[in-house]
Structure 1
Amino acid sequence: MKKGISASKGYAIGKVVVKMKTEISIEKRHIDDVIQEKERFQKALELSKSQLEKIKAKAEKEVGKDKAEVFESHIMLLDDVEFAGAVTVKIVNDHVNAESALYDIVDLYMKTFQAMEDEYMRERGADIKDVGSRILANLTGNNSSIIDMENNTVVVAHDLTPSDTAQLDKSKVIAFVTDIGGRTSHSAIMARTLEIPAVVGLNDITDSVKDGDLIIVDGVEGEVIINPDKNTLNTYKIKKENYNKEREKLKALIDVETFTKYGNRVEVFGNIGKPEDVDQVLKNGGEGIGLFRTEFLYMDRDSMPGEEEQFNAYKTVVEKMGKRPVIIRTLDIGGDKKLSYLPVPEEMNPFLGYRAIRLCLDRTDIFKVQLRALLRASVFGNLRIMFPMISSLEEFLKAKEILKECMDELTKEGKSFNKDLQTGIMVEIPAAAVNSDELAKYVDFFSIGTNDLIQYTLAADRMNEKVAYIYNPMHPAVLKLIKMTIEAAHKQGKICGMCGEMAGDENAVETLVEYGLDEFSMSASSILKAKELIMKK
C-alpha cells in the first residue's frame, strides 16, 4: 500500500497504464544566425497554437466548455507578447539557441508562480510548464503520442498536464494516480470534473508499477494498493459499491435547504475563481457563493481588467445565482501574488506585507475600478462585498469610505446600484478575530478565512512540509478564535460564515455546527457531503 493525497474521492479497481515522463535534454548552444533562430521559435509557437486549438475543441466536447477554458489561457500565453518577447530577446542578446532561451524563461515564470502562497496559483505554474514543454517538443521534433488504453484503465504518471488529460479517452479511464501534485493540480481538478477517483503526490508510483498491473485506487483515504490479494480485492469491491450508492443518495439533497437536527438553518455555499465555476456550484446544490476570488480576473494577462470587463464578469455570476447570495472578495493580490503589469517592491516576508486590502487602500485607482464594477453589478442579484486581510477597524472604515465615493460618482453619472449593499470582512488575521466584538458593530457579516488564520495563529507556513505537522485546523487556539468570532457576530445580530478549506473538512463540521456557524463555503464537489453531515448534527 502506498499513501498519497486524496484529490478526488471514490474507489477504482483497474489495470495500470503508465504514462512515462518524457525528458527532453536541453543543450545550450552559441548561435550566430539569430534571425533564423527567431524564425524557428516562431514556427514552434504557431504549431503549438494549432495543436492547442484542436485539443481545446476536443475538450469542449468531452468535459464541457468551462473546463476547456484552461486551453484558452494556454493559447493566450502563446500569444503573450511579453512571454514570446522575453524568449526572443534572450536569443538575440545571448546568442543562444531557442531551446535554451525558452527553458530559462519558462523556469523564471514557474518560479514566480511557485513562490505564491495560494495553492491554486502555485499549481498554475503547471500551465506554464505544459505550454513550455509543448513548444520545446515542437522545437526538437520530440512529440510523444498519447497512449492507447483499454476499458478500466488507471493512468499512472509522474504528472498529468491539461493537454494530457484532454487527450485521454474519458470512456476508458476510471482513475488517475500521479507522483506529484496536490488537490488543486489539473489532474485532480479534471478527475473531480469527471467524478473519478484520483490520488496524487505518491512520489514514486511510476517506479512501483508496470503496465497491466492490477491496482486499487482509494480516493477516500488517498491510498493505492498494487496487485492486491483476493480478500483485499473483495473488500474494495464492496467499498466501491457502497460508495457509489451513497453518492447517488446524496443527489437527493441538491435542492434541499440545510437545517441541523435541532432546526437551525445553515447555508452551504460554494467557492469560485471565475464565472464559469458557478455551474458546478449549482449542479452540486450550492445555496450561494461564499467566496468569489476576483484575483483570477487579473491573472494570465498583460494589463489590468477594466471596469466594463469586471462588471460583465460579476453580472454573469449574480444573474446565474438568481436570488442566492454571492459574496465577492475584493482584489487579494500583491506581496506573494504578483502581476507582471503591477510592480510591487520585493519584501522579506510577503505573506505579511503589501497585499490585499493594504494594496487597495494605497492604490485607490485600482480599487475604485473594481468597486464601481461591483456596485453596478449589484442590481442584477444578491451581491455582497467582502474585504480581505482586515486587521483593524480603521482599514474597514477606510474601505467603506472609498466605496461611498464610488457610490457618489455613480449617482452623479445616473448609473444604478444597490444602495443597501452588504459589506463584510474576511477574518483571517488573529487581530481581527480577537477584536471581532468591536468589528461586528460595523460590518454586515464575517467570513472566516481559515487557511491564513491557522498559519498566522500557529506561525506555521502551510506550504512548508517541515512544519506541516503544526498546521492543525483543530488546534485549541484556532478553535477559540473561530468560536470567539462567531459569538461576536451573533451578539450583534450578524451572520458569520467560513470560506477556508476547514469549511469543507468533514472532521470539523460537527464542531463548527456546535459553535453556531451560519454559512459553510467550499469547493463545489464537497457541498452535498457537507449538507448531509450538517443535517445529522
Structure 2
Amino acid sequence: MEALKCLLPQTVVGIVIVSHSKQLALGVRELAAQMVQGQVPLAVAGGVDDALNPLGTDVMQVHQAIETVYSDAGVIVLMDMGSALMSAEMALEFLLPEQRNNIRLCEAPLVEGAVAAVVCAAAGGSIEQVLAEARGALAAKASQLGINVPTTQQPEHIEEPSEIYFKEEYTKEIHIAVSNRMGLHARPAAQFVATSSRFEAQIKVKNLTKNTGYVRADSINQVAMLGVRHGHELAISATGADADAAIAALQALVENNFGEGDTPLHESQIHATPDETFISTAAPTLRGIPASPGVAIAPSLRYAMAPLVRHQLPSVQSQQYYIDNPDREWEFLQKALSDAATEIEVLLSQTSTQIGDTEAAIFDAHLLFLNDPVILEALHHYIYVRHINAASAWQAVVEELTNQYRTHYDSYLRSRAADVIDVGQRVLRLLLGTAAAHLNLTEPSILIATDLTPSDTAQLDTSKVLGICTTAGSATSHTAIIARSLGIPAVVGVPEGILRVADGTIVALNGGTGNVWVEPSVDIITAIEAQRSAWQSSEQRAFRNAHKNAITTDGRRIVVYANIGGVADAKVAISMGAEGVGLLRTEFLYLERKTPPSEEEQLKVYQGITQVLESRPLIIRTFDIGGDKPVPYLNLPSENNPFLGWRGIRFCLDRTELFKTQLRAILRASAEGNIKVMFPMIATVGELKAAKAILLEVQQELQQKEIPFNDKIKVGIMIEVPSAVAIADQLAPIVDFFSIGTNDLSQYVMACDRTNPQVASLADALHPAVLRMVQQAVKAAHKAGIAVSLCGELGSDPIATPILIGLGLDDVSLNPQAIPRCKKAITQLSFIEAETIASEALKQESAAKVRELLRTFKYS
C-alpha cells in the first residue's frame, strides 16, 4: 500500500480522480498536475475494460489508484456521479481499518475540486484542509458570476514546509541564484545531492522561480524534478547541528557554478546549422528534431534490441511473487545494485577517454541513482512490507519514477526519463540474469530506433554508425549530447513510420535541419550529396588550421596530440588534425572480458593504430588498472581508498607476467611504428627503475628469440602524483619525456576523489596549487633536456590554452574533438603574452579567480 509514497514528500495528501470516462479522468489529472508541477501524487480510475462499452467504473481500479498514492498524509477521492461513488465506497472495503480512516470521499465538483485540492496539498495542507478547499472550489466561480452559494469553513493557515518540518532545531536558510549555463542538469544535480549527503542536517530545497514545494536535497530524482535552469533562484534550508556548514558548502558549490562555465547554452549551440546551403530544397520523407549536426547517407539498420530501447521496462509480471525471506531478496537486490555500479564505473571510464570528463559525468548521476535514499526506501517497503520479489519491486519503482519524468511539465526533465530507463534496464537485467545486449555492425549504417539510452550511445562505433534516427528523444537529452560529442549526425522525434523501414533501405538524414529521406530518388540523392559536400566544406573551414602546425604569433610551435582508447579513436584523431597520439589508454583492452588479453590480441591492436597513424608518434601507456577502473577477473581487493591503493605501476610491478605480456606486445609493435612507452602512477625513483628493469628483461628475451623490435624505444612517465613532482629533478635524467596527467594530479594535490561528486569540484586543474605543480615539473624536465607534455582534461579546455603555453609545455594531448579549437587558440596568441597570463594565474588564490583572469583575456 505505502510503497510508492516514498517517491514523493510523505506529508503530501494524495488525490484520486474517479470517472466513468477514462479520457475525462486523465484530462482532469493533467489539468491538476499542471497547477502544482508534479508536487502532489495523483492517480485516476476511469472507464472499464470493455471495447464496446468503455464508460463505467471498476472497484479494483479505484482500489489500485488509492494504493498508488497512499501515504500517512491520507488520500482524497473525487468522483463524478452514480456508480463512481459506489465503486469508491466498495474500494474502501479492501483496505485495512487504519487505512480506511485515512481516506476521504469528497463530493466536490470533479474539475474545480481536483484543482483546489492539489494546490492545497502542494502547500502542505492536512487532509482536512485539502477536503475543505475542494468543497469550497465553486466559490470563486460563483463570485465571478454574481451567484451566492453557501461557503464551507476555510482551511487554517497552511505553514510553509520549513515551518512544519523544522520547529525545534536550529534552521538556516539561504536564497541563491543558479548561474551555470544549464542549471541543475545531471552533473550539477549529482554534485548538489552528494554535497547535501555529507551532512547530518536535514536539507531541503525548492525552486523559488518556479514556486515549487520543498524536496529532499539528498534525492537525485527530487532535486532534478525541480527543473532548475540558468537564472532560477533556489531556497536551500538546513536544520540540525551542522546546518551552517551544510549551507556554506552548498552556497560555495552554487557560486562556483558547479565547476562549469557561467555562459548560458544558446539555442544555436543545440541546433547548429553551419551553412545556409545546408538547408535542402529536396522535400524530406519525414521530419524530426535536429539533435546533432551533420549529413549521412547509408543503409538503415533497426536497433531491434527491445526491450532495451523502449520507454517501458520489460514486463516481469509472470515473475512477480510473494517472498518468504525478504532478507535474502534484499541481499539479491544489493548485489545487483553493486554489479550495476561496477558496470557504470567502467562505462564512465571509457566515455571519459572517448569524449571527455564533462560529458562522461552524465554517468555520475547514474551512479547516484543507485544510492538515492528515496528509491531505496520505496524498494525496502516493497520487499519487507509487501513481500514482493526484488525484480518486481525494482520495476515498479522505476516505472513510477519514469512516468513522473515523462509527464513533467518541463521538456528538459522529460528527456531525463531516458536516464532513469537506462539505469533501470541495467539493474533489471542483472536481477533477471540476462546477458547484456550489444550492437555489432558489420558495415556503415544509419541506426533507426525508438530511442537510445545514454549507455547505448556512448558505446557506438563511430566508424560504423554514420547517423542516428529515433522516434523519441530531444535535442537536450543526454543521448543527443553524447552523439554531438562523438560527431554522429542525429535526428530525434521522427514519426513512427520510420520504424517500419526494412533493414538495408537507403536512408539519408540532415542532423542540422531534422530532415530524413527514405529511399531518396536520384535527384534527391544529388541534392543531399551537395548538402554533405557543403557540410564537409563547412567542417573544413572550421578545421582549416587543424591539419596545420599550431604556431603562436611569435613563432613558437606547440605539438598537439590526441588521447585515444582504440583504433576507431585513432581514425577520428587524425581526421581532427592530431599530430600523433600522446596517450593510448590501454585499459580498454582489459575491460568487459573474463580473462586478460593475450600478447597477440594486444599486438594486433597496437599495429592497427600504427597503421592509421603512419609515421606519427604513438605513446602507449601501460595499463592503469585500479582506482576508477575495476577489473573483476584480476581479483583486485576491495580498498577503502582505491585511488591511493594498488593501482597503476604498483599493480604491474606485483603482477609481472601481465606486465611482461603487454610490454612484449608493445615492443613487437615498435618494430614497425613510431612507438614510445609510458609508465603510469610513478611515485618513486625505485618504481621507475624497477619498471625499466622489467622492460630491459623483456627486450633481452626478444633478442634471444630474434624477434624484431626498436631497441631505442623512448621511455617516459606520467607525472600525476605529487611525490613525482617533488622529485622530478631525480626522475627526469632517467627518462626520455614527461607527460603530466592533470586529472589525477588535481585530485592528489587537492586530496579529493575526482569521481566522488561530494568533493569532485575541488579537483580543479586550474587551481593555482595544481598549476604550480605543472610549472615545477616543466622546469625539471627542461633542465634535464627532455620534452614535457600534458595529457589531462585541462588540455581540452580552450580557456586554459594560454596558461599551458605560458608554463612552457612542449606539447599537449587531448580528446580528438577538442583539437581544432585548441590549435586555433594557439595560433591566436603569442608566447610572451601567454607567459604573462600564466604568471598572473600562479598568483591567484583559487581556481575561480584563475577563470576570472582568463575571461578577461581576449583572443585577437
- TM score, norm. by length of structure 2: 0.43
Change (3 A) 1:508 1:273: same
- Give yes or no for contact 1:130–1:162 (8 Å, CA) kept in 2: no
3-state SS of the aligned residue for 2:476? strand
The RMSD of aligned alpha carbons is 4.3
Gap change, CA 1:133 and 1:507, over 3 Å in 2 = same
SS at match of 1:497: strand
* Residues in 2 aligned to 1:478 and 1:108: alpha-carbon distance in whole angstroms: 33
Q: Counterpart of 1:111? A: 341
SS in structure 1 of the partner of residue 676 of structure 2:
strand
Residue 460 of structure 1 is aligned with which of 715, 731, 752? 752
Taking the aligned partners of 1:363 and 1:378, their CA distance within structure 2 comes to 23
SS of structure 2 residue aligned to 1:176:
coil
Q: Which amino acid aligns with 1:190?
A: A
Deviation string, structure 1 residues 201-225 (Cα, Å, up to 9, x no partner):
xxxxx9xxxxxxxxxxxxxxxxxxx
**Residues 353-385 of structure 1: per-residue CA shift (max 9 Å, x gap):** 001100000010110000000000001111010
Which residue in 1 is equivalent to 2:312? 22
Q: Alignment partner for residue 417 of structure 1, among 700, 703, 709?
A: 709
Q: Which residue of 1 aligns with 2:484?
A: 191
Partner of 1:162: 457
Where do 1:386-405 residues align within 5 Å? 386-405=678-697
Give the aligned residue type for 1:431.
S
Match of 1:11, as an amino acid?
A: I
Report how far residue 173 of structure 1 moved: 9.8
> Structure 1, unaligned stretches of length 5 or more?
33-93, 140-154, 199-205, 207-242
Equivalent residue in structure 2 for 1:441, among 691, 709, 733: 733
Superposed counterparts of 1:264-279, under 5 Å? 264-279=556-571
Compared CA separation, residues 167 and 408, structure 1 to 2 (3 A): closer
Q: 1:294 aligns with which of 570, 573, 586?
A: 586
Contact 2:576–2:819 under 8 Å retained in 1: yes
In 2: Cα distance, 1:107 partner to 1:473 partner? 32
Instruction: Tell me which of 761, 774, 792 is aligned to 1:500.
Output: 792
- Asked if the contact 2:454–2:482 (Cα under 8 Å) also holds between the matched residues in 1, the reply is no
Deviation at 1:302, TM superposition (A): 0.9
1:356-435 mapped onto 2 (5 Å cutoff): 356-435=648-727
2:643 and 2:753 in contact (8 A); partners too: no
Aligned partners of 2:483, 2:548: CA distance in 1, in Å?
27
Taking CA–CA contacts closer than 8 Å with sequence separation of 6 or more, which of the two structures ends up with the larger relative contact order? Answer: 1
Confirm or deny: 8 A CA contact 1:175 1:191 kept in the other structure: no
Shift of 1:330: 0.2
Query: Who is 1:11 aligned against?
Result: 270
TM-score, normalisation: structure 1:
0.66
Alpha-carbon contact 1:307-1:372 (below 8 Å) kept: yes
* Alpha-carbon distance in 1 for matches of 2:468, 2:803: 42
Change (3 A) 1:131 1:323: same
Question: Cα gap change, 1:118/1:288 in structure 2, threshold over 3 Å: closer, same or farther?
Answer: same
1:120 aligns with 2:351: yes
Is 2:827 the counterpart of 1:535?
yes
Is residue 2:619 matched to residue 1:327?
yes
- Contact preservation (8 Å) 2:474, 2:480: no
Determine the C-alpha separation between the residues in 2 that align with 1:196 and 1:488. Answer: 45
Offset at 1:322? 1.4
Residue by residue, what CA displacement relative to the aligned partner does 1:200-258 show, whole Å, maximum 9, x if unpaired?
A: xxxxxx9xxxxxxxxxxxxxxxxxxxxxxxxxxxxxxxxxxxx9998553321232111
SS where residue 161 of structure 1 aligns? helix
Q: Confirm or deny: 8 A CA contact 1:175 1:197 kept in the other structure.
A: no
CA contact (8 A) 2:586 2:623 kept: yes
Counterpart for residue 216 of structure 1:
none
Q: Distance in 1 between matches of 2:741 and 2:644?
A: 15
Q: Secondary structure at the match of 1:304?
A: coil
Which deviations, in whole Å up to 9, do the C-alpha atoms of 1:428-479 show, x marking residues without a partner? Answer: 1111112112111111001111111001111122223333442322111111
Alpha-carbon distance in 2 for matches of 1:29, 1:174: 31
* Aligned amino acid, residue 517 of structure 1: L
* Larger deviation, residues 103-112 vs 10-19: 10-19
- For residues 349 and 545 of structure 2, the distance between their equivalents in structure 1, rounded to whole angstroms, comes to 31
| Residues 497, 520 of structure 1: 8 Å contact kept | yes
Native 8 Å contact 1:424 1:443 kept in 2: yes
Q: Is the 1:17–1:156 Cα contact (8 Å) retained in structure 2?
A: no
Q: Distance in 2 between matches of 1:323 and 1:167?
A: 28
Q: Is the 8 A contact 2:561 2:582 kept in 1?
A: yes
Instruction: Map 1:195-344 to 2 at 5 A.
Output: 248-344=540-636
Residues 11, 197 of structure 1: 8 Å contact kept: no
Q: Deviations over 1:389-438 (max 9, x none)?
A: 00011111100000000000000001000011001001111111121121
Deviation digits for residues 45-64 of structure 1, max 9, x if unmatched?
A: xxxxxxxxxxxxxxxxxxxx
Contact 2:466 2:488 in 1 (8 A): no
Asked whether the 8 Å contact 2:599–2:664 carries over to 1, the reply is yes
What is the Cα deviation at residue 340 of structure 1?
A: 2.4
Moved more, 371-380 or 128-137: 128-137
1:284 touches 1:525 (CA, 8 Å); kept in 2?
yes
2:810 maps to 518
Residues 500, 130 of structure 1: alpha-carbon distance in 2 compared, 3 angstrom cutoff: farther
Q: Does 1:176 align with 2:475?
A: yes
Q: Structure 2 vs 1, CA of residues 25 and 197 (structure 1 numbering), >3 Å: closer, same or farther?
A: closer
Distance 1:246 1:474, change over 3 A: farther
In structure 1, how many angstroms separate the alpha carbons of the residues matched to 2:665 and 2:480?
A: 34
- CA offsets per residue over residues 152-171 of structure 1, 9 Å max, x none? xxx99985733998798549
Q: Supply the distance in 2 between the matched residues of 1:259 and 1:164 (Cα, whole angstroms).
A: 35
Distance 1:357 1:163 in 2: 28
Where do 5+ consecutive residues of structure 2 fail to align? 1-180, 188-259, 273-286, 292-308, 353-359, 368-418, 435-449, 494-534, 830-860
Letter matched to residue 484 of structure 2? A
The answer to whether the Cα contact below 8 Å between 1:387 and 1:425 also exists between their aligned partners in 2 is yes
Distance 1:490 1:278 in 2: 29
